[in-house]
Amino acid sequence: MTMFGAVTGLVTWINAHAVWPDLPIWAYVIITLLDTHITTTCVTLYLHRSQTHGAITFSPVVSHFMRFWLWVRTAMPTREWVAVHRCHHAFVDGPKDPHSPIVYGIWRVVFLGTGLYHRAAHNHEIIEQYGKGTPNDLLERRLYTPLSVLGPVITLITNLWLFGIAGLPMWLVEMAWIPFFAAGVVNGLGHWWGYRNFETPDYSTNLHGRYLSVLTCGEALHNNHHHIQNAERFSMRRGEIDPGYWYFSALRVIGLAKTRKDAA
């Protein structure tokens, strides 16, 4: 059997055992966008506003759902992400900033920002100094951190089972989404291009266009965030939107989330 025949046979077998292998293309696109939007929401609410800055808290069920979702969609251990971001705030746009476009150049951060993140995430000193206060339970020590790569593998298998071979390009988009938008767009363009509401001691900007705020769940309002780092809401002027805050507010109404003031 030729290589082409083997690949064709494997694709046929995968599709034959999938749940929804024949959906229209637009359905796969919508499902992928919803999936990546959930991931982005978990990054901004759980990793950023809750774990890094302590602006908000969630019920244990909601908190762990987001931690699990980030494991299967990003392979990013909470402690590493939090430590790298706190280090960014401590040395913002200076030589020790892990991913400043002022230091490394805009195109390197936009397109290779995930490499800069991983370099900082594997720096033991950064993790020890800035990763304090993050989850350290049995699941984190035995599963989420040491077996971080297993999460995306589970997502790939699940995608293929549900959508057939169409699950593969969906998986590739899901895996590339956060590295591009968080490590590239927000950390790169968010310190290089846009408008400034506040004269912060750095180069942070708010990115133009509401669609970027939707795609990043409010993270595009980066200058606002650097102005008040522990604010639960990133939108501060008329016309600015923060979907992450909308989702937090909905969870707060039903008693599944709190602000720092609520918890005081």
* pLDDT 10s digits, 202-246: 999 999 988 999 999 999 999 999 999 999 999 999 999 999 999
77 or 2: which carries more pLDDT confidence? 77
Please check whether residue 165 is in contact with residue 22, taking contact to mean a CB–CB distance below 8 angstroms.
Answer: no
> Which pLDDT score, from 0 to 100, does residue 259 have?
92
> Which pLDDT score, from 0 to 100, does residue 141 have?
94
Please check whether residue 40 is in contact with residue 181, taking contact to mean a CB–CB distance below 8 angstroms.
Answer: yes
Rounded to an integer, the average pLDDT of 23-44 is: 97
Residue 95, pLDDT > 70, answer yes
Residue 262, pLDDT > 80, answer no
pTM: 0.94
Rounded to an integer, the average pLDDT of 173-177 is: 96
Residue 161, pLDDT > 70, answer yes
Rounded to an integer, the average pLDDT of 79-99 is: 96
Residue 91 and residue 62: Cα distance in Å, rounded?
32
263 or 106: which carries more pLDDT confidence? 106
Using pLDDT thresholds of 50, 70 and 90, give the confidence band for residue 130: very high
Give the whole-number percent of the chain exceeding pLDDT 70. Answer: 98
Give Cβ neighbours of residue 70 (< 8 Å, ≥ 6 apart): 39, 42, 43, 46, 47, 76, 78
Tokens, residue 66:
């987001």
> Which pLDDT score, from 0 to 100, does residue 183 have?
85
> Which pLDDT score, from 0 to 100, does residue 1 have?
57
> Which pLDDT score, from 0 to 100, does residue 15 have?
81
Residue 106, pLDDT > 70, answer yes
How many Å is the Cα radius of gyration of the chain? 19
